[in-house]
Amino acid sequence: MKYFGLKVHEAHKLIKDREISSEQLTKSIMDRIEDVEGIVHGYVTVTKEYALKKAREMDKKIAEGEEPGPLSGIPCAIKDNICTKDILTTCSSKILKNFKPPYSATVYQKLEEQGCIMIGKTNMDEFAMGSSTENSGFFTTRNPWDPARVPGGSSGGSSAVVAADEALFALGSDTGGSIRQPASFCGVVGFKPTYGRVSRYGLIAFASSLDQIGPITKDVRDCALILNAICGHDPMDSTSVSADVPDFTRFVDKDIKGIKLGVPKEYYTMQIDDSVKKETGEAVTNLANIGAEKVELEMPYTAYALPAYYLINPAEASSNLARYDGIRYGFTYEDAENLLEAYKKTRSSGFGPEVKRRIMLGTYALSSGYYEDYYLKAQKVRSLIARDFDQAFKNCDVIVTPTAPTVSFRTGEKIDDPLMMYLNDIFTVPVSMAGLPAVSIPCGFVNGLPVGLQIIGKPFDEGTIIKVASAFERMLALDKVKPLFGSYVRGGA
């Protein structure tokens, strides 16, 4: 029996009804990892013995009469920039290749309290800087739909292992699209909550005013379940917002009649493949056919989001990554003759080319004489982008756009052209700049590769996003379509 193909809510029902145990489910996932990980390369670390031990403990509690919660005994994967106490957390960087945190991130603690079983840490672009997972300091993750193509990034490992049934769900982080874009490329559901909705405590910082943790799942209901578990105020995070957290599952399988869908013309006039434009356009038509109302929007500052983001993002990265000096933790260059040489050689050897590029760009943008011309102006543009969204939401309930301008591209195709790589984030970056919630859900296929639809909501209105996404998913049932490789048999749960 192949339990690895189950969704979270399906597995919960079987565990609750005592039809399967957490250990059986975890072993099935481990067998799946053994079968396909040689193709996917989604994990930096697999915690097999730890996971099986936790699964047995959960089964014992259930046998003794404890009522299993919605995530009790559910195997999950965690992106490798989320701290897990005494378990390797590398950010897929050589500079942290042996780092074991002395504490766990709040989100991971919450999942543990819910009874989740962590089965491993997933590969990513180094320090979350990239859109293809090719910038990992260790290896490149492959797309389960076509192993010659990238899974997206930076949460490429998390998206790939969910698509490949190597985890029932995963956590990722999103700075400018790093949950949504790989979810689009891998044909899964990826949700970036409102900035401040989920604690960032224990998330290794990249760009602190943009970073946000969120779930990557096989369907929208699972996404709602994980949001229930990880959202909420955390006094350990100064950016965490004390806002009520609804039961997000209440928004699943609801009617969307009368909901206004904003469609900004700017998102369809920028660089976008005609085939992706066609699929996402048909998705909007399908939503209108089940009762939603299409509203045309103008968002004139959209075109400035990417250049502003690529000033703010490196500037904050430059500041955050200054702490990796080889003195207190992580990789240290052993043969330096003095302290300055130790700093230089540690950082030169420990950081990859994309990280170095962003540190240099950010340091330049923050330097004396350039701060006002670059960083300060970028922050002013950020305010204008947020104002665009504020105006747009006066006329609609959600905004619907493509998630990415193309389907997954071939490994190596863009790695030597940073500008072309950055353009992958053209539709996701504006949302991050405004701190808004958004989801990517599968909406179709181009040449057998998934296309993602992005649904953007008002601040702290994740529920309306889930309502629209669930209705769309129910109509097309694309959550039932999987990549076929390894020993997978369609429908074989």
DSSP state for residue 167 in the 8-state scheme: -
Continuous H helices in 97-136:
106-113
pLDDT score at 336: 76
pLDDT score at 194: 98
The answer for 232, left when phi > 0, alpha when psi is -120 to 50, beta otherwise, is left
Q: How far apart are CA 433 and CA 449, in angstroms?
A: 28
- Strand-pairing partners, residue 220, are none
Specify the 3-state DSSP secondary structure of 182. helix
Amino acid occupying residue 124: M
Q: Roughly what angle, to the nearest 10 degrees, separates helices 220-230 and 8-16?
A: 80
pLDDT score at 1: 58
Q: How far apart are CA 64 and CA 47, in angstroms?
A: 26
CB 135 within 8 A of CB 40: no
All residue ranges of the chain with pLDDT < 50 are 488-493
Task: Count CA within 13 A, CB hemisphere, residue 390.
Answer: 8
pLDDT score at 341: 84
Residue the block writes with tokens 């206004």: 260
Amino acid occupying residue 193: P
Q: How far apart are CA 124 and CA 402, in angstroms?
A: 23
CB 173 within 8 A of CB 230: no
- Strand-pairing partners, residue 297, are 264
Residue the block writes with tokens 């604690």: 199
Q: Which of 359, 381, 361, 380 is nearest to 370 (CA)?
A: 361
pLDDT score at 268: 84
Task: Quickly list DSSP for 30-67.
Answer: HHHHHHHHHHH--EEEE-HHHHHHHHHHHHHHHHTTPP
pLDDT score at 289: 95
Class of 3-266+277-298+388-480 in CATH: alpha beta
Q: Which of 27, 127, 5, 9 is nearest to 69 (CA)?
A: 9
Q: How far apart are CA 393 and CA 159, in angstroms?
A: 30
Q: Roughly what angle, to the nearest 10 degrees, separates helices 353-366 and 305-320?
A: 100
User: CA-CA distances (angstroms) from residue 182 to 117, 125, 160?
Assistant: 23, 11, 8
User: In 3-state terms, the chain is what percent helix, strand and coil (to 5)?
Assistant: 45, 15, 40
Catalytic residues: 79, 154, 178
Rg (CA), the chain: 21
- Strand-pairing partners, residue 402, are 453
Neighbours of 65 (CB within 10 A): 6
pLDDT score at 488: 46
Q: How far apart are CA 417 and CA 260, in angstroms?
A: 39
Amino acid occupying residue 486: G
pTM: 0.95
**Any residues with CB less than 8 A from the CB of 329 and at least 6 apart, and which?**
96, 99
Continuous H helices in 88-144:
106-113
pLDDT score at 486: 62
Residue extents of the structural domains in the chain: 3-266+277-298+388-480
Q: Provide the pairing of β-strand 449-456 with 438-446.
A: antiparallel
For the segment 146-172, what is each residue's pLDDT rounded down to a tens digit?
Answer: 999 999 999 999 999 999 999 999 999
Tell me the residue length of the chain: 493
